[in-house]
């Protein structure tokens, strides 16, 4: 009888313990308000994050989809384009941001005015910016070719009718658009370095950037690079509105070929498979990013 009573009372004790752990130190109306705020968030998270991810994994779970995808020559060129887009777009952008953040650290009103002008490309909406660049590169009546003809009396090339020049235009457009944003992040990191550290290092004979600034910014620079890589993998606007993924579907990246397969070819499962093929690249980046964020308290 004693053992049966213990077995019956154990679930009730566990429920009370779970309720106390969920409630924490909140009592009465505080707990009610906490539940009122948390429940809608959980519902939105399940409906718009968990469900789409699970449904997408289910749609792209067939091995035959990936065999068909890997045999597609458009997808093969897409992988090459994506690698080049990441390698050049991320590294050139972050290196320029690092250099420009040091330039804008200079005292004076003129540097603040230049910083305000420099930030404007990032502040302008993406779609209008990339559409403007598309028309500037038009081979017949674009602004760039007209300037070449007026100044040098030469006929400019058809920038968007060649795979590599079109991809180069996309990469340059992305760098021009997003370099100001990462420059501001690194500039904030530079400004957070205490002056005492710089003064002490100079007394010890250490020079500015190599021995002081870059070691303190290394962790921030790596985190920004990882974030920029993740963002660039999902960049749909630059490719779509600058080059139209052309010419002849040779300018696609992983962020755009999924839309092409799902809507233009009317194969949504193949489109999901194209997007899911980026997961082997995204998951390690996210893992490294989370680990770096855990150790971010040691450095800036």
Q: Angle of helix 163-191 relative to helix 109-123, nearest 10 degrees?
A: 130
Angle at 165 between CA 162 and CA 168, to 5 degrees: 145
Asked if omega into 30 is within 30° of 0 (cis), the reply is: no
Look at residue 299 in the predicted model and tell me its pLDDT. 46
Could you report the average pLDDT of every consecutive run of 10 residues in the chain (300 residues)? 51 61 67 85 93 91 93 95 96 96 88 92 92 91 90 90 95 96 94 77 66 84 93 93 93 94 92 91 88 62
Nearest to 277 by CA among 250, 263, 257, 260: 257
Q: Residue 160 and residue 167: Cα distance in Å, rounded?
A: 8
**At 187, which helix (H) or strand (E)?**
helix 163-191
Instruction: Identify the pLDDT of residue 270.
Output: 94
What pLDDT does residue 141 have? 84
pTM of the model: 0.84
Q: What is the pLDDT of residue 300?
A: 44
Contacts of residue 66, Cβ cutoff 8 Å, sequence gap at least 6: 273, 277
> What's the pLDDT score for residue 1?
47
């Amino acid at each position: 009888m004693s053992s049966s009573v213990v077995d019956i009372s154990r679930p009730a004790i566990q429920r009370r313990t779970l309720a106390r752990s969920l409630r924490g130190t909140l009592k009465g109306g505080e707990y009610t308000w906490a539940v009122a705020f948390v429940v809608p968030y959980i519902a939105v998270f399940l409906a718009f994050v968990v469900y789409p991810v699970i449904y997408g994994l289910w749609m792209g779970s067939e091995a035959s989809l990936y065999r068909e995808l890997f045999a597609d020559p458009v997808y093969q060129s897409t992988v090459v384009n994506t690698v080049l887009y990441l390698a050049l777009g991320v590294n050139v952008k972050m290196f320029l941001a690092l250099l420009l953040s040091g330039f804008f650290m200079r005292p004076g009103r003129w540097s603040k005015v230049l910083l305000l002008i420099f930030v404007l490309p990032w502040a302008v909406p993406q779609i209008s910016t990339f559409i403007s660049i598309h028309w500037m590169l038009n081979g017949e009546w674009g602004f760039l070719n007209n300037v070449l003809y007026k100044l040098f009396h030469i006929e400019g090339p058809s920038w968007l009718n060649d795979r590599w020049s079109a991809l180069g235009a996309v990469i340059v457009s992305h760098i021009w658009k997003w370099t100001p944003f990462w420059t501001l992040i690194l500039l904030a990191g530079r400004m957070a370095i205490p002056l005492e550290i710089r003064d002490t290092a100079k007394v010890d004979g250490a020079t500015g950037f190599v021995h002081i600034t870059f070691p303190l910014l290394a962790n921030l620079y790596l985190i920004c690079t990882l974030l920029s890589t993740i963002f660039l993998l999902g960049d749909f606007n630059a490719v779509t509105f600058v080059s139209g993924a052309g010419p002849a579907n040779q300018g696609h990246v992983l962020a755009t070929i999924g839309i092409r397969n799902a809507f233009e070819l009317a194969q949504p499962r193949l489109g999901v498979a194209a997007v899911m093929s980026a997961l082997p690249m995204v998951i390690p980046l996210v893992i490294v990013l989370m680990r770096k964020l855990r150790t971010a308290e040691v450095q800036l």
